[in-house]
Amino acid sequence: MEGQPSMLLQAASAFHPPPGKKITYGTAGFRADATILSSTVFRAGVLAVLRSLKNGGAAVGLMITASHNPVGDNGVKIADPGGGMMAQSWEPFADALAGAATAEDFVEIVLVFAAKEEIPIGRLEKSEVLLARDSRPSGATLIEAAKMGIASVAGAVAIDMGILTTPQLHWMVRQRNRGWGSSEMDYFLQLSNSFRSLIELSGEEPMASGYDPVLLVDAANGVGGGKLKELVKLLGAGIEIHVRNCGEEGEGLLNEGVGADFVQKEKTIPHGFTAQDTGKRCASLDGDADRIVYFTIRANDENKVDLVDGDKILSLFALFISEHLAIIADADDEKEDKKTKKKTLGVVQTAYANGASTEFLREMGVAVALAPTGVKHLHAMAAQYDVGIYFEANGHGTVLFAPGFLTKLQDLANLCSGTMREKAARTLLAVSEVVNQAVGDALSGMLLAEVILWHRGWSMQDWASLYQDLPSRQLKVKVANRNAVSTTESETRVVDPPGLQDAIDAETAKYNAGRSFVRPSGTEDVVRVYAEASTQAAADALAASVALHVSHYLSA
Ligand code: 16G
Ligand code: MG
């Protein structure tokens, strides 16, 4: 390993962590004001190489983005060789790297960790990092810092994929490691080809269809707008997507009054949309296009929108997929298949899922599992089913197909040529292609939602009325130390501080259909409160009283 320590030390000495500021690998990577991030990003470059070396040199992704944060922020996160988020077991190491006070400390931490994990650093072994950034101006310099980090490990190769959405990079990593086409055009072609296959497999549009071919998309003035425009060129007839807030001259700032986070939290019309769009089917992406919600603008209430959130997207997907799984199983003479059908499909939500959505899914006969907040938790749980669908209410989510199940579908399609079963199997295969199985992807999720609406001949009203959301309220409470709150049972129950859960239970019992939980945020210095009840006034009151208990228990 001669030379490697001094190579690392020399490179690391050019970067200085911000004094007195601790940046941690939170729910979705490191995130902070862009001006203090270069040392963190340099070190994340080294981290990505180590991750690749640990995985026999497989490609790893490094994405520069701060998603829905303001334009002055930026961030960095690592995608593992499978295309998913970096293994959680490495997060403490990531924190230690970012937090090392000096270049010497940093090198020491790298070398000790590499020795412990038997990572062949400095032996010129193959390792590869695919890099990309979203449209933030600060990304250009930060990506150079990441490249310097990568170059400081002997034998490491950096491949700059340019400006991409986060899910595009995750997809590319997954494809590349499977030896499949991983260019941006491959991505666009896979999505558009499978979209068109799904339309063809659906046959004729239903009579008296309520589906409106026009879709208005708010791209948050982020990276997704331009990408969506590229994709639209390949979709063919039948759908008319108008993209707004692409971040072009005069369109406003990234994530400011626009985007999925804004629309979902504020339930307010994003910039670039007016009363003239009332009743139209609209969708909002977030700044790096890994999240999507739909909405319509309310008549006579110009500023407000009716939201179709992640829960309803999930419900739509679950309905369509279970319908097709049922065709496959129902046509089977053997009862065996019918019995296993329900285990085949599973959905994963978080405690934030509206109670009405969970009830709707359970009534459909689908297994519903609960995961803690954060894509990585939901993704891991969904991967346990043959077909696993996961969504957070905020619009992060996708559908996962187990490799063995895809083979089964392929065999079935070949065996049952000319039957309904073949069509159902081919439809599910096309769904597995249109969705991004590496990570939730606003563009691919949108295509699947559109196909399903088209197939059913549904208007936004049809979709929205799948079930009626229970009134809910979210609050945040500023506390001295949010980490004094710890939870269990997928964040539905508080363990610490003692007594707080009993207080929440006592409040909840006062309300019809009441439900409430609290958890420390992973991205902000607050404790979040969620409450649900049969009326809005009750949900508001429940949330307010639980928030008071949080303040009380955490101020002591
Ligand atoms: C991050 C997570 C998101 C989660 C949110 C919760 C990813 C890619 N993103 O944005 O899944 O819903 O954090 O934020 O994992 P909170 O902890 O502040 O409530
Ligand atoms: Mg995002």
Strand ranges (E), 406-485: 472-478
Domain residue ranges in the chain: 3-180, 187-306, 311-438, 472-555
- Band of residue 341 on the pLDDT scale cut at 50, 70, 90: very low
- Band of residue 122 on the pLDDT scale cut at 50, 70, 90: confident
Q: Which fold has domain 311-438?
A: Alpha-D-Glucose-1,6-Bisphosphate; Chain A, domain 3 (3.40.120)
What is residue 496's predicted lDDT score, i.e. its pLDDT? 95
CATH 3.40.190.10 fits 3-180, yes or no: no
CA torsion through residues 110, 111, 112, 118, sign: positive
Element of type H or E holding 30 = strand 30-33
What is residue 524's predicted lDDT score, i.e. its pLDDT? 82
**Which range (11-20, 22-31, 38-47, 217-226) has the least confidence?**
22-31
Give the pLDDT mean for 496-500.
96
Give the pLDDT mean for 512-530.
93
Q: Name the closest-CA residue to atom 2, ligand 1.
A: 374
Q: How far apart are CA 34 and CA 56, in angstroms?
A: 32
pLDDT over 60 (residue 215): yes
Superfamily of domain 187-306 in the CATH hierarchy: Alpha-D-Glucose-1,6-Bisphosphate, subunit A, domain 3 (3.40.120.10)
What is residue 301's predicted lDDT score, i.e. its pLDDT? 78
Q: How far apart are CA 30 and CA 426, in angstroms?
A: 40
Burial class (CB in 10 A: 0-12, 13-18, 19+), 3: exposed
Pick the residue with more confidence: 492 or 556? 492
Q: At a CB cut-off of 8 Å and minimum separation 6, what does 469 contact? A: 311, 354, 356, 357
CATH number, domain 472-555, options 3.40.50.10490, 3.40.1110.10, 3.30.310.50, 3.30.2290.10: 3.30.310.50
What is residue 331's predicted lDDT score, i.e. its pLDDT? 53
| Tokens 């996961």 found at | 390
- Band of residue 28 on the pLDDT scale cut at 50, 70, 90: confident
Give the pLDDT mean for 422-435.
97
What is residue 335's predicted lDDT score, i.e. its pLDDT? 46
Q: How far apart are CA 223 and CA 246, in angstroms?
A: 7
Element of type H or E holding 526 = strand 526-532
Whole-model pTM: value is: 0.95
**pLDDT digit string, tens, across residues 150-181:** 999 999 999 999 999 999 999 999 999 999 99
pLDDT over 60 (residue 492): yes
The one-letter code for the residue type at 389 is I
Cα of 358 from ligand 1 centre, angstroms: 20
Pick the residue with more confidence: 300 or 387? 387
- Band of residue 1 on the pLDDT scale cut at 50, 70, 90: very low
Beta carbons of 49 and 110 less than 8 angstroms apart = no
- Band of residue 556 on the pLDDT scale cut at 50, 70, 90: low
Beta carbons of 285 and 254 less than 8 angstroms apart = no
| Tokens 């009134």 found at | 471
- Band of residue 555 on the pLDDT scale cut at 50, 70, 90: confident
End-to-end C-alpha distance for the chain, whole angstroms:
52
**pLDDT digit string, tens, across residues 291-316:** 999 999 988 876 899 999 999 999 99
What is residue 336's predicted lDDT score, i.e. its pLDDT? 46
Give the pLDDT mean for 187-194.
98
Domains 3-180 and 311-438 share a fold: yes
* Residue from 39, 52, 67, 357 carrying the catalytic annotation: 67
What is residue 333's predicted lDDT score, i.e. its pLDDT? 44
* Whether the CB of 54 sits within 6 Å of ligand 1: no
486 is catalytic: no
pLDDT over 70 (residue 420): yes
Take residue 194 and report the two structure tokens written for it. 């499978």
Q: How far apart are CA 212 and CA 550, in angstroms?
A: 46
What is residue 241's predicted lDDT score, i.e. its pLDDT? 97
As beta bridge partners, residue 499 has: none
pLDDT over 70 (residue 429): yes
What is residue 522's predicted lDDT score, i.e. its pLDDT? 85
Ligand 1: nearest atom to the Cα of 523: 18
Cα of 523 from ligand 2 centre, angstroms: 12
Ligand 1: nearest atom to the Cα of 521: 17
- The secondary structure of residue 490, as a DSSP letter, is T
Q: Name the closest-CA residue to atom 3, ligand 1.
A: 374
**What DSSP line would sit under 341-410, residue for residue?**
HHHHEEEEE-TTS-HHHHHHHHHTT-EEEE--SSHHHHHHHHTTSSEEEEE-TTS-EEEEE-HHHHHHHH
What is residue 461's predicted lDDT score, i.e. its pLDDT? 96
What is residue 330's predicted lDDT score, i.e. its pLDDT? 59
Average pLDDT, the chain: 94
| Tokens 């957070």 found at | 392
pLDDT over 70 (residue 548): yes
Ligand 1, pocket-test mutation among 24, 25, 27, most atoms within 8 A of CB: 27
Q: How far apart are CA 537 and CA 278, in angstroms?
A: 27
Which of these, 244, 242, 240, lies nearest to 269 by C-alpha position?
244
Cα of 522 from ligand 1 centre, angstroms: 7
**pLDDT digit string, tens, across residues 266-278:** 999 999 999 999 9
* Whether the CB of 374 sits within 6 Å of ligand 1: yes
Question: How many beta carbons lie within 10 A of that of residue 368, not counting itself?
Answer: 18
**pLDDT digit string, tens, across residues 74-111:** 999 999 999 999 999 999 999 999 999 999 999 999 99
Q: At a CB cut-off of 8 Å and minimum separation 6, what does 93 contact? A: 47, 109, 113
What is residue 27's predicted lDDT score, i.e. its pLDDT? 78
* Whether the CB of 66 sits within 6 Å of ligand 1: no
pLDDT cut 70: percent of the chain above it: 97
**pLDDT digit string, tens, across residues 47-66:** 999 999 999 999 999 999 99
Cα of 69 from ligand 2 centre, angstroms: 9
* Whether the CB of 375 sits within 6 Å of ligand 1: yes
